[in-house]
Amino acid sequence: MWKWESTKADAVFVIVHGAGEHHQRYAWLIEQLNTNGCHVVTGDLPGQGKTRGKRGHISSFTQYMDTITGWYEEAASYRLPVFLLGHSMGGLAVIRTMMEKKLDVHGVILSSPCLGLVNPPSKSKDVAARVLHRVTPTLRAKSGINSALATRNEQVREAYVKDEMRVSKVSIRWYQELVKAMKIANRSTEAFPDVPLLVLQAGDDHIVDKFAVERWFNQVQLSDKSYKEWDQLYHEVFNEPERDEVFRLTKSFIELRK
C-alpha cells in the first residue's frame, strides 16, 4: 500500500488498477488528484505489480475485495470523504467490493469497468479452462492484453511494453474467477448500494464490452448516477490524449459530492 498526501486535502481517493498492470501507471492521475485537494491511497492487487505470490494468479476474487477493503480502511482513517476509483478489472473489483462490503464512501468512479469482454476465449477454450482450473489452477496462458488496443497515447504504449512489472500471463483460475465475478456483478445489480456513481466509458473500447457496461449501468437502481461515453477514446480513458477533459468531469463529480 502507498499513500500520496495533498497539502490541502478535503477528500481521499482509493485507486484500483486493472489487470496486468500496477499502481505506478497512475502517476499522472495521482498528481492531478493531489493538486486538486485529494489524498490518494493505492497499491498493487494480489498477483500484480510488486506483490508476493504467483504473478497473474489468484485463488479467489475475494483476495481483491479484501485488499481494496484494506486500502479503504486506510483512506477512512483520514476522517475525510472517501471516493473509490476502479479501472477495467479494478472497476469490476470495486463493484464486487461494494456489493459485498457496502463501504461508506461518498462516491464510486468506474473507468471502462470489466463487465464483459470484447474478445472472450472461444467456447472450446472456455470449456477446457473450466475443467483445467480444478486440476491445474496455476497453469498460465497469455492474457491477450495488447497495449496498442488499450490507448492511443504512444508514450504510454511504449512505457507499457518496456514495463518489467506488467503481467502478460494469467492463470486459468484467475480467468475463471474473473468470469464468475462478471456474472455476479451483472445478475445481482440490486446488491450495489445506493452511493453516487460515475461511469467513464471508452467509446472505442477494444478490450471491455461497452454495451455490457451500459446495460449494467441502466440496471443499477441509484438515486445519483451518471454515465459518460467518450467517443473515439480507447480503453484507458485516463491515459488518452483527451485525459484532461476526462479529469475535468471527474473533478466536477468529486466537488459536488464531498
Active-site residue, from 17, 57, 87, 235: 235
pTM: 0.93
Catalytic-residue membership of 66: no
Catalytic-residue membership of 235: yes
Q: What is the pLDDT of residue 123?
A: 55
Catalytic-residue membership of 88: yes
Backbone angles phi, psi at 231, to 5 degrees: -55, 135
Tens-digit pLDDT profile for residues 5-58: 999 999 999 999 999 999 999 999 999 999 999 999 999 999 999 998 899 999
| Interacting residues of 160 by C-beta distance below 8 A, sequence separation 6+ | 21, 25, 147, 150, 166
Tens-digit pLDDT profile for residues 95-117: 999 999 999 999 999 999 999 99
Active-site residue, from 22, 87, 88, 133: 88
Element (H, E) at 32: helix 27-35
